[in-house]
Amino acid sequence: MNSPTPTSWLEIDLNAIQNNYMELCRISGTKVAAVVKANAYGHGLIRVSQAVLDAGGEWLAVARFEEAEQLRKNWIMAPILVLGFTPPDRVVEAAKENIRLTVFDAQTAHHYSTQTSERGMRVKVHIKINTGMNRLGISPQEGVEFTRWLSNLPGIEVEGVFTHFARADEPALDTTERQIRIFEEVLDSLKAAGVKPPIVHASNSAAVFNYPKAAYDMVRCGIALYGLHPSPETPLPATFKPALSLKTRLTSIRELDAGEGVGYNYRYYTTNKERIGTIAVGYADGFRRVMGNKALLRGKEIPVVGSVCMDQCMVSLEGIQDAQVGDEVVLIGKSGGLWRTTEDVAKEWGTVNYEVVCGMADRLMRKYIYTNNRNDG
């Protein structure tokens, strides 16, 4: 079926995501929970989750309960772990929908227990231990006591225990080794007390490569699933493939004389006669309003000139004589032999690749590339 021509769109290669998922399984040697929070890092929550499950995925992880709810509304029935805080008034739904919650404080846990046990229900929870990230989690010293107490609360089933690394993408440092040591001390004490939960997990994408010993029963991978490098110090092996491209169209071409201003506040002036094009991507699409952006057209790199507007921006078409209205313009991805990566853009924006893809706006149509090779036989 032909889909209508979009003005500006994201092309998402679901086969690349499946490839990356299988690589993560192979390299980690354990279960991989696909981290699909933040609309699957901008790639599209439902389609990405379905693709991972089609490739044999078992677990999904999100940041908020609302994201898990959206998955269930779309008939995605795999186990889901909510990594962040869930308000107690959602716990009955969590129990009903078999959504696992993260627990890291006694008061909230107590509220969960009251709500579920009153209705004869049980909610599965994973206890988060703070081993040094200092964001969420109970202290390692309280680990055993808290787990014992929680395991005896009615309406609660303690299914997992986990931690999160702060600097796993910086392998030269000893921070992660310290976090692993602290976590393993907690695990040993839980084992000795006979309350070790069945699923232990700690690693994000970077840790899969840098700390294979911390794979335990499951790893939680986001960035590598999308084929993006965890950090400059932790590049992905060449077997991983980036899944996302950002594309738009050339919507207008004009010839300007020397000394003419372009766009809001005239932050660009032509120095000679110059052909200026307009493209249909702006900061409301997640394309940042910074100077020095670049684009690819007909296999050549061209500069974005002037301020990025809300829905559009201008490019210099010098050196591209054959450019035509309607031409495809690539902001992230390949054009001819050239490739602008998410990492190139992140560097120019002074941020990380995570923020670039998570910032892609909802209004960008997501065009999925997907060949289902599964034998449903």
Ligand X SMILES: Cc1ncc(COP(=O)(O)O)c(C=O)c1O
Single out the segment in contact with ligand X by CB under 6 A; choices: 85-93, 140-148, 214-222, 308-316: 214-222
Which of 220, 229, 298, 340 lies at the binding interface for ligand X (CB under 6 A)?
A: 220
Collapsed DSSP state (helix, strand, coil) of residue 300? strand
In the numeric block, which tokens belong to residue 299? 């296999």
Instruction: Give me the least distance between CB of 157 and ligand X, in Å please.
Output: 21
204 binds ligand X (CB under 6 A): yes
Instruction: Give me the least distance between CB of 203 and ligand X, in Å please.
Output: 8
Whichever of 223 and 305 has its CB closer to ligand X, that residue is 223
Whichever of 53 and 133 has its CB closer to ligand X, that residue is 133
205 binds ligand X (CB under 6 A): yes
Single out the segment in contact with ligand X by CB under 6 A; choices: 70-78, 218-226, 257-265, 298-306: 218-226
Size of the site for ligand X (CB under 6 A): 12
Which of 160, 197, 227, 230 lies at the binding interface for ligand X (CB under 6 A)?
A: 230
Question: From CA 81, how far away is CA 198, in angstroms rounded?
Answer: 15
Residues 6+ positions from 135 with CB-CB distance below 8 Å: 164
Whichever of 253 and 358 has its CB closer to ligand X, that residue is 358
DSSP assignment letter at 318: T
Catalytic site positions: 37, 264
Instruction: Say how many Å lie between the first and final Cα of the chain, rounded.
Output: 24
In the numeric block, which tokens belong to residue 316? 């210099």
Whichever of 32 and 315 has its CB closer to ligand X, that residue is 32
Which of 10, 12, 35, 52 lies at the binding interface for ligand X (CB under 6 A)?
A: 35
Instruction: Give me the least distance between CB of 151 and ligand X, in Å please.
Output: 22
Which of 42, 57, 137, 222 lies at the binding interface for ligand X (CB under 6 A)?
A: 222
User: Pairing mode, if any, of strands 274-279 and 31-35?
Assistant: unpaired
Collapsed DSSP state (helix, strand, coil) of residue 198? coil
Whichever of 63 and 361 has its CB closer to ligand X, that residue is 63
Collapsed DSSP state (helix, strand, coil) of residue 144? helix
221 binds ligand X (CB under 6 A): yes
Residues 306, 291 contacting (CB under 8 angstroms): no
**C-alpha atoms less than 13 angstroms from C-alpha of 81 in its C-beta half-sphere:** 27
What is the sign of the dihedral through the CA atoms of 65, 71, 74 and 79? negative
Helix extents (H) in the chain: 14-28, 37-41, 45-54, 65-73, 91-96, 106-118, 143-151, 175-192, 205-210, 342-349, 353-358
42 binds ligand X (CB under 6 A): no
Residues 136-165, mask of contacts with ligand X (x by CB under 6 A):
----------------------------x-
Residues 99, 128 contacting (CB under 8 angstroms): no
Single out the segment in contact with ligand X by CB under 6 A; choices: 46-54, 170-178, 202-210, 232-240: 202-210
Chain residue at closest Cβ approach to ligand X: 222
In the numeric block, which tokens belong to residue 235? 């590049």
Range 108-146 burial, b when 16+ CB lie within 10 A, else e: bbeebbebbeeeeeebbbbbbbbbbbeebbbebeebbeb
Which of 83, 182, 281, 297 lies at the binding interface for ligand X (CB under 6 A)?
A: 83
Instruction: Give me the least distance between CB of 165 and ligand X, in Å please.
Output: 9
44 binds ligand X (CB under 6 A): no
Whichever of 92 and 133 has its CB closer to ligand X, that residue is 133
Tell me which H or E stretch contains 301. strand 300-305
Binding site for ligand X (CB under 6 A): 35, 83, 164, 204-206, 220-224, 230
